[in-house]
Amino acid sequence: MRSETPRSPGSPGSPGEKHSGTATLSADVCVVGGGPGGRALALALTRLGCDVVLLEKRDPARGTGPAFRGESVSPDGVRLLAALGAWERVREAAHRVDRLEIEDAGHRVLDVRFADFPYRYRHPVELAQPTLLAALAELTGPQPGACTVLEPATAVGLLVEGPAVTGVRASTPAGTVRVHAALTVGADGRYSAVRRLSGLAERARQMPLERDVVWLKLPFPVGWDRRAYRVRIVGSSHGLFLPSTDGTVRVGLNIPKGGLRALRAGGLDQLRARLAQLAPQTDQSVRAGVRSWSDTVLLDIFTTDVPRWSAPGVVLIGDAAHTLSPVLGQGVNHALADAVELAPLVAEALSRDRQARGRALGTALHLFQHRREPDVRRSRALQLRQERMFTLTSPAATALRRTLYRALDASPALRRRVLAPAYFPGHALLRESARAEEATPA
């Protein structure tokens, strides 16, 4: 654990305080990472009366160029946003998706209609991440608790007293800031600094998958349904085609692990040929939308299994605790679920007197992982099964894959059983009353 013992912070909660040339802040919770999970947690905690300092390393004033940002929000993610009071703020900006379509070797083998699921929030949506983050930030302002945002700010060390983390040392353009907090939350993504600095990465197991993904945006192909997710498979090659809120289509082209150099060696014509093989309708869009390799982004595909999500005074959420692959867009949704589950447990623990707080917080963090881990495990298992299905190559194996997808397509009960863990995990306990829920689609 990389750490330093903090000096006395002086009077708590004085943001402008200087101590030995270093600014000092105090809060109940320090959240490292201002993505959907970190912002949702800050909102939920301040709503419960906690004071939060949120650190975000990206500078909003700078353009970042092409990047991969999770925009797919599952029906369960929509439910969670509604619970946070954010859904009505972003609803008009969201793009509803009605279908999931898989074609294999040019034949449609699966066509899922989300309206067939018996839940109030049945449809996934595409939602630009800046829109979501802005809505969560606006809601966080007028709450019983307070949220101080440092942006850009990078966590470079943890403050430690005895066995417990007591805050974060952050680097900002104005200099070093020490943030003292009863709990530090690593919401800083798949390459989490908090996970590394806290020692929670020591037993983590990173599992590289057999492929990487080249992401790009294209003009939307003429004649395509704008409310459909598409998976196209030809042999062992496959790609994802997802509608975006800006009217384009996001494409995830799967390539062998480490295969970018070979793809680029063939030039853009090879990229165009790969996409045309999967989806001939994209040919003109590719020529218009991809003029250089700088229009693409490589996403290294792996999952990370972290046995322990917490240590005294520190906890991980979202991709920092359980990195998933981008299949079925689960990263944003599990981060939101983590935030909603964790906040009331932490707020209750912090309401205890100082003597009992440490033990109560430790119990809360263990309970958080116990409650959330089964849903994460089910999503990971489903994703890994899909990965194996996508990479089958022999004629017999690909024929079996098409047979399995057609069986799934033919059985509504089987579709619900297979897809519910990914799209409706929070509804699992509501199955008996699901049909009695309000029938209005999201």
Q: What angle do CA 233, 236, 242 make, to 5 degrees?
A: 35
pLDDT at res. 434 = 42
pLDDT at res. 59 = 66
pLDDT at res. 123 = 95
Question: What confidence tens digit (pLDDT) does each residue in 240-289 have?
Answer: 999 999 999 999 999 988 899 999 999 999 999 999 999 999 989 998 88
Question: What confidence tens digit (pLDDT) does each residue in 89-140 have?
Answer: 999 999 999 999 999 999 999 999 999 998 889 999 999 999 999 999 999 9
Confidence of residue 378 (pLDDT cuts 50, 70, 90): confident
Cα pseudo-dihedral 164, 39, 343, 316, rounded to 10: -40
Predicted confidence (pLDDT) at residue 219 exceeds the cutoff of 90: yes
Predicted confidence (pLDDT) at residue 303 exceeds the cutoff of 90: no
Domains in the chain, start-ordered, CATH in brackets? 3-65+129-206+303-382 (3.50.50.60), 72-128+207-300+391-436 (3.30.9.30)
Greatest mean pLDDT among 35-49, 66-80, 371-385, 415-429 lies in 35-49
Predicted confidence (pLDDT) at residue 28 exceeds the cutoff of 80: yes
Residue whose structure tokens are 């959240």? 31
Q: Enumerate residues 6+ apart whose C-beta is below 8 A from 344.
A: 44, 48
pLDDT at res. 60 = 60
| Overall average pLDDT of the 216-236 stretch | 93
Q: What is the DSSP letter of 12?
A: T
Q: How far is CA 298 from CA 61, 189, 279, 294, 295, in A?
A: 24, 17, 20, 10, 10
pLDDT at res. 68 = 62
Which one has a higher pLDDT value, 139 or 416? 139
Predicted confidence (pLDDT) at residue 18 exceeds the cutoff of 80: no
Predicted confidence (pLDDT) at residue 408 exceeds the cutoff of 60: yes
Predicted confidence (pLDDT) at residue 16 exceeds the cutoff of 50: no
Tokens encoding 374? 């089964």
Q: Enumerate residues 6+ apart whose C-beta is below 8 A from 51.
A: 13, 27, 28, 29, 145, 146, 147, 148
Confidence of residue 328 (pLDDT cuts 50, 70, 90): low
The closest of 6, 22, 245, 219 to 125, measured between CA atoms, is: 245
Average pLDDT of the chain, as a whole number: 88
| Overall average pLDDT of the 206-227 stretch | 91
Which one has a higher pLDDT value, 418 or 357? 357
Question: What confidence tens digit (pLDDT) does each residue in 162-179 have?
Answer: 999 999 999 999 999 999
Q: What is the DSSP letter of 222?
A: T
Tell me the β-bridge partners of 217: 250
Predicted confidence (pLDDT) at residue 6 exceeds the cutoff of 70: no
pLDDT at res. 424 = 85
CA atoms within 13 A on the CB side of 3: 20
pLDDT at res. 433 = 40
Confidence of residue 239 (pLDDT cuts 50, 70, 90): very high
pLDDT at res. 211 = 85
| Overall average pLDDT of the 35-39 stretch | 97
Out of 53-57, 102-106, 323-327, 362-366, pick the least confident: 323-327
pLDDT at res. 385 = 82
Question: What confidence tens digit (pLDDT) does each residue in 42-72 have?
Answer: 999 999 999 999 999 986 655 445 566 778 9
pTM for this prediction: 0.89
Confidence of residue 383 (pLDDT cuts 50, 70, 90): confident
pLDDT at res. 81 = 97
pLDDT at res. 175 = 95
CA atoms within 13 A on the CB side of 78: 26
Predicted confidence (pLDDT) at residue 418 exceeds the cutoff of 90: no
Chain centre to alpha carbon of residue 71: 9
Burial class of residue 3 in the structure, from the number of CB atoms within 10 Å of its CB (0-12 exposed, 13-18 middle, 19+ buried): middle
pLDDT at res. 390 = 80
The closest of 341, 440, 434, 407 to 102, measured between CA atoms, is: 407
* The residue count for the chain: 442
Tokens encoding 388? 């194996």
Angle between helices 330-350 and 354-390 (to 10 degrees): 170
Beta strand 310-311 with 314-316 is antiparallel
